[in-house]
Amino acid sequence: MSHLNADIRQRAEELVALYPEPRSALIPMCHLAQEQDGWLRPEAMEEIGELCGVTAAEVRGTATFYDMLHTEPVGTYLLSVCTNIACLLGGALELLEHAESTLGVRAGGTTTDGVFTLHEAECLADCDKTVCVQVNHRYVGGQSPESFDTLIDDLRAGRLAETVPPHGTLVRVRRSVGLQADRADIVAERAAAAEARSARAAATAGAGEKPA
């Protein structure tokens, strides 16, 4: 039985069809699985591996390399507080301590209700707006302790739902332009490529045989 729901499974299969090699779809498929579950469940990694022609261990190994992919549960909202030099000079450590006090968790922890995960981040590339904070990888502007408390209240109340979807959703607009692939054409092209590889391998093996 598929762990991915019908919509996500269909989108995953469409993704695989876009690439000459199925394993090339691994990272975007991880994002799809996170969109469904908020993190990469073991069952999802197994299914991604099957679709991409790799092992679940290879999926996990790839996912653990990237900050935006999570192999452990995170909150509905992932709060990233930058503590790099520009933000550090702007009061990042003080804001991080305030965030820990407000949420009741240390950096790296998730609130008991599962709503917020607090993350101490390296440079988030918005250095003119310190202290830089992201929620689910969306910029929310430079934050102070006071504005941070307002941010938390707004997130809890759902007032930012239009701009900040639950963790795992990168985009809410479906691709309708750009690279398209007809599934039948892809299957035919892959079969032809496999046949050509087999023919080349047979020819190479035959050339290497010594006469009796």
List phi, psi (to 5°) of 134.
-120, 145
Domain containing residue 91? 77-157
Pairing status of strand 116-121 against strand 77-82? parallel
The per-residue b/e assignment along 86-100, b for 16 or more CB within 10 angstroms, e otherwise, is: bbeebbbeebbebbb
pLDDT digits (tens, 9 = 90+) for 194-204: 888 888 888 88
Q: Are 25 and 58 in contact (CB under 8 A)?
A: no
Q: Are residues 99 and 150 in the same domain?
A: yes
Q: Are residues 146 and 83 in the same domain?
A: yes
Q: Are residues 58 and 11 in the same domain?
A: yes
Number of domains in the chain: 2
Q: Are residues 44 and 97 in the same domain?
A: no
Q: Diameter of the chain by CA atoms?
A: 87
Task: Among 157, 177, 193, give the residue marking a domain's end.
Answer: 157
The residue type found at 148 is F
CATH of the domain at 33: 1.10.10.1590
184 within some domain: no
112 within some domain: yes
Distance CA 161, CA 146 (A): 21
CATH of the domain at 134: 3.40.30.10
Three-state DSSP at 71 gives coil
| Three-state SS sequence of 107-154 | CCCECCCCCEEEEEECCCCCCCCCCEEEECCEEEEECCHHHHHHHHHH
Distance CA 155, CA 115 (A): 9
Residue 174 pLDDT exceeds 70: no
pLDDT digits (tens, 9 = 90+) for 80-112: 999 999 999 999 999 999 999 999 999 999 999
Residue 173 pLDDT class (50, 70, 90 cuts):
low
Residue 178 pLDDT exceeds 60: no
Q: What is the pTM of this model?
A: 0.78
Q: Are 143 and 133 in contact (CB under 8 A)?
A: yes
Peptide bond into 59 cis (omega under 30): no
pLDDT digits (tens, 9 = 90+) for 60-77: 999 999 989 999 999 999
What secondary structure letter does DSSP report for 210? P
197 within some domain: no
Distance CA 62, CA 27 (A): 8
